[in-house]
Amino acid sequence: MAATILFDLDDTIYPRQTGIMHQIGLRMVDFIRAEFHLDEAEALALRRHYFLTYGTTMRGLQINHLIDPNR
């Protein structure tokens, strides 16, 4: 079992061309859609709002919805 998970969120390990950040973004929108029963446009808008307001989408979900990042 892995003891450490490394996220490359600034494209230093994997080149931007791999599309990893794009895939992470799609997964975040899918989570928000399912969790809050929103359509894609609403989920994307909420994700963007939280990112711009709190610096990360996850922080916005934690503050506004008490989402546990470890679940």
Q: What is the pLDDT of residues 2-15, one digit of tens each?
A: 677 666 666 677 77
Q: In 16-41, which positions are buried (b, 16+ CB within 10 angstroms) versus exposed (e)?
A: eeeebeeeeeeebbeebbeeeebeee
Q: Could you read off the pLDDT of 15-56 as tens digits, one per residue?
A: 778 888 888 899 999 999 999 999 999 999 999 999 999 999
Q: How far is CA 53 from CA 2, 6, 24, 33, in A?
A: 33, 25, 19, 19
Q: What is the pTM of this model?
A: 0.77
